Structure 1
Amino acid sequence: MVRHGAFAYTWDLIGDPAGAARIASLGVDTVTLQAAYHSVRATTAWHPRHRVVHAGHAAAYFRLRPERWSGRLRPPAPTWAVEDEDRFGTASAALTAAGLRTEAWMVLTHSSVLGRSAPDLTVRNAYGERFAHALCPAQPDVREYALMLVREVCDQYDVPALMLEACGWLGFDHLSAHEKTGGADLSACARDLLSICVCSACSEILDADDLSARIRRLVDHELQDGVLAGDNLIDALGPSLAKALFEHRSTVISGLVRDNTELAGGREILLMATDDPQVTGPDVGLNLTSASPTAYTLKCWDEPEAAIARLKAARTDVPLVANVNALGDRPDELPGLVDRLVAAGASEVRYYHAGLASPARQAAIRAAVQEVN
């Protein structure tokens, strides 16, 4: 049997007596519920008290115990939508009462509010510029923070699984403020080059001076002369530098996954990932044989053929979870897509997103669950 689950926010449930039953009516058995999450603006179509929730900064939605946070980074509490010091606990209790299994959705290194408070712990690009949204996981303080997020959820809640998002580096691409970067026509390779971190922790491993100089030369040549930086990072940096970068990323990410798995005490660890080591972002890029989560969650939001090929190409004995977008242009095609993804190797499916989906998209989720077993 295929396990079907849906993503949800705590504000989809708290204050709405019908919220959990509405999600259960989709036929899913699992809800991936936000426990630590970045800023977002979201619609809440059926909630009795609000229609738009603006989460102004990254926050912890579980009960915060100040005495547990002795490091430099401490997650702030949310102040929007409802007043509840334990939103995750309240929402997960409602889901349990509706017969649904809850897994904790943990965003680890994506926090502009913390990045602004501790800029030295953020990603530093080759020009010395900081990405406030991107905490660098190679920094010991960031690692301690990420592990404490997981430890606190595991200590306080009897959840069977944790979905880890941003368990590595975030890079250049980030929807922030009013984004004005598109007109520069930066290639995918140039964006990847701008995503490489050369902060103090990363510089201990990488030859930061040589790497930064090469990145600046390539990116400036593309920006100012229109000459593409390269087809990929191996082409742009050369095999030696690229290999050192990929090995550094893999070591840090795999270590963080390993330590989180130990903290989880037998709970499942579902890692949002891609098998492309050049990738930075919410889905970490690494060789899928280098880490050992319970399952890899692979994003299947692009063209169906590409998503299916990605699942088939995943060379790992670790189970695969297909993260499918129910908010796309053709919700009527969702059941057929899910059927093909399961045939390609997915043992579980997570639908994004139960709270954001319109009635037509909810119907598509319901149909997919009914048709794919």
Structure 2
Amino acid sequence: MKHGAFAYTWDIVGDPAGAERIAGLGVSTVTLQAAYHSVRATTPWHPRHRIVQADHAAAYFRLRPERWRGRLRPYPPSWGVPDEDRFGTALAALAGAGLRAEAWLVLTHSSVLGREAPDLTVRNAYGESYSYALCPAQPAVHDYAITLVREVCEQYDVPALMLEACGWLGAEHAGHHEKTSGAHLSACGRALLSLCLCPACGAGLAGRGLDVEELARDVRAAVDRELQQGVPAGTSLDEALGRERARALYGHRGQVIADLVRDVAAGAGGRELLLMATDDPQVTGPDVGIDLASFDAPVDAYVLKCWGQEEAALAQVKAAASRTGVPIVANLTVLEDGHARIPALAADLVAGGARQLRYYHAGLGSPARLASVRAAARLKERQC
């Protein structure tokens, strides 16, 4: 049973004891930040800092300017310990501690790039841009994501890539000072506001027989009814838009995501691809919404977020394992209340069909929460 933990480069770079401390959790694998969005994070153990304020999305690997020819170019980080190759430095430290490291790549989530190129971002039915969400249907975004992957694979000997935000981010975004929950939109209403109707997506949907202007009008009408009259948009996009239009939308999304994953695989040099996903094509977000049973791209494992209610997490893993032969990796968090249940939940998830486990997050957990990871990592496959 392979146990792994997520970690940021700033948990390790500048801390001689950082890698050994993660190894002490009993995990064999570290999912290490190579390209990541903005975040504010604690660093409880670091000898030089306690809070890292990562103000914009950045590449933590060595940037080679001559390799970036398109409009979108990643920014280097300007926080934490100065080092032009933080990913490489952390990678070497982890290897020295006997740990296997996989590159953690966030592909389409970058507010700084979205603000610079709003025409390349998700655009909702009202024509409003989500600056944090690059649209993967845009060729320039596709090329940017592929270049991120190739640069990591050409420069570093990592056995696997963990892909986050490999599709669309939607209306929900845990950033800024969010003031959107009071409108009390249903899950379907939020899904409608998450539909991207930028020119690239409009062309893709039109190619599947949809009248995009009519679709935008219908989305606006359904969202406004819910916001202004309290009339729910529906229980799903199938109900709100009609099954035929919803299927066309899912087909477009699935095709774009699959094309991106195929091109990632082509540039990955045979490395394992772990795709953060959920088995629901209506979903947008860092875990791409796809139909696991029919997704047609070379993926070595699906990483399912098993946060929140334990019963729902277990049901999700069981259902996914029954619908695909692709191995399932369960992503558990120690950051929520009830972390003491992590060892028992890990055992249940393995019994339910998970082949591997990843714990979020080695640098963010308190001593008691990391003790739960330690206890879970002691579980052997036969015990699970």
TM range (shorter): over 0.9
> Is 2:261 the counterpart of 1:257?
yes
| Aligned residue among 340, 358, 364 for 2:348 | 340
- Asked if the contact 1:108–1:164 (Cα under 8 Å) also holds between the matched residues in 2, the reply is yes
Counterpart in the other structure of 1:275:
279
Q: Distance in 2 between matches of 1:261 and 1:205?
A: 23
> Is 2:305 the counterpart of 1:307?
no
Q: Distance in 1 between matches of 2:5 and 2:379?
A: 16
Counterpart in the other structure of 2:300:
294
Q: Distance in 2 between matches of 1:347 and 1:177?
A: 36
SS for the counterpart of 1:114 is: helix
Counterpart in the other structure of 1:27:
26
Normalised TM-score (structure 1): 0.99
Q: Distance in 1 between matches of 2:220 and 2:34?
A: 38
Counterpart in the other structure of 2:365:
357
SS for the counterpart of 1:205 is: helix
Q: Which amino acid aligns with 1:203?
A: G
Distance apart, 1:349 and its partner CA: 0.4
| Aligned residue among 214, 218, 225 for 2:229 | 225
- Asked if the contact 1:335–1:372 (Cα under 8 Å) also holds between the matched residues in 2, the reply is no
Counterpart in the other structure of 2:144:
145
SS for the counterpart of 1:28 is: coil
Q: Distance in 1 between matches of 2:373 and 2:266?
A: 34
SS for the counterpart of 1:371 is: coil
Q: Which amino acid aligns with 2:174?
A: L
- Asked if the contact 1:292–1:318 (Cα under 8 Å) also holds between the matched residues in 2, the reply is no
Gaps (5+ residues) in structure 2? 206-210
Q: Distance in 2 between matches of 1:82 and 1:242?
A: 47
Superposition pairs of residues 238-249 of structure 1, within 5 angstroms? 238-249=242-253
Deviations 1:158-199 (A, max 9, x none): 000000000000000002221111111111100000000000
- Asked if the contact 1:334–1:364 (Cα under 8 Å) also holds between the matched residues in 2, the reply is yes
Distance apart, 1:292 and its partner CA: 2.8
Deviations 1:293-348 (A, max 9, x none): 11000110021111111111111111110000111101110000000000011110
Q: Distance in 2 between matches of 1:25 and 1:248?
A: 45
Q: Which amino acid aligns with 1:306?
A: A
Counterpart in the other structure of 2:378:
370
SS for the counterpart of 2:318 is: helix
Counterpart in the other structure of 2:125:
126
Distance apart, 1:260 and its partner CA: 0.6
Superposition pairs of residues 160-171 of structure 1, within 5 angstroms? 160-171=159-170
> Is 2:319 the counterpart of 1:319?
no
Deviations 1:48-106 (A, max 9, x none): 00000000000000000000000010000000011100000000100000000010000
**Count of matched residue positions in the alignment of Structure 1 and Structure 2:** 372
Runs of 4+ in 1 over 2 A off after TM superposition: none
Gaps (5+ residues) in structure 1? none
Q: Distance in 2 between matches of 1:310 and 1:210?
A: 35
Bigger shift: 253-262 or 270-279?
253-262
Superposition pairs of residues 44-193 of structure 1, within 5 angstroms? 44-193=43-192
Distance apart, 1:265 and its partner CA: 1.1
SS for the counterpart of 2:52 is: strand
Counting aligned pairs with the same residue, the percent is 67
Counterpart in the other structure of 1:201:
200
Counterpart in the other structure of 1:42:
41
SS for the counterpart of 2:276 is: strand
- Asked if the contact 1:339–1:372 (Cα under 8 Å) also holds between the matched residues in 2, the reply is no
Counterpart in the other structure of 2:208:
none
Q: Distance in 1 between matches of 2:249 and 2:276?
A: 20
Q: Distance in 1 between matches of 2:281 and 2:368?
A: 36
Q: Which amino acid aligns with 2:358?
A: R
Q: Distance in 1 between matches of 2:215 and 2:357?
A: 39
| Two-structure CA RMSD over aligned residues (Å) | 0.7
Q: Distance in 1 between matches of 2:367 and 2:380?
A: 20
Q: Distance in 2 between matches of 1:342 and 1:5?
A: 14
- Asked if the contact 1:61–1:77 (Cα under 8 Å) also holds between the matched residues in 2, the reply is yes
Q: Which amino acid aligns with 2:310?
A: P
Q: Distance in 1 between matches of 2:379 and 2:277?
A: 27
Q: Distance in 2 between matches of 1:189 and 1:274?
A: 16
Distance apart, 1:136 and its partner CA: 0.2
> Is 2:339 the counterpart of 1:331?
yes
| Aligned residue among 235, 244, 255 for 2:239 | 235
- Asked if the contact 1:338–1:372 (Cα under 8 Å) also holds between the matched residues in 2, the reply is no
Q: Distance in 2 between matches of 1:358 and 1:265?
A: 37
Q: Distance in 2 between matches of 1:208 and 1:12?
A: 46
SS for the counterpart of 1:333 is: helix
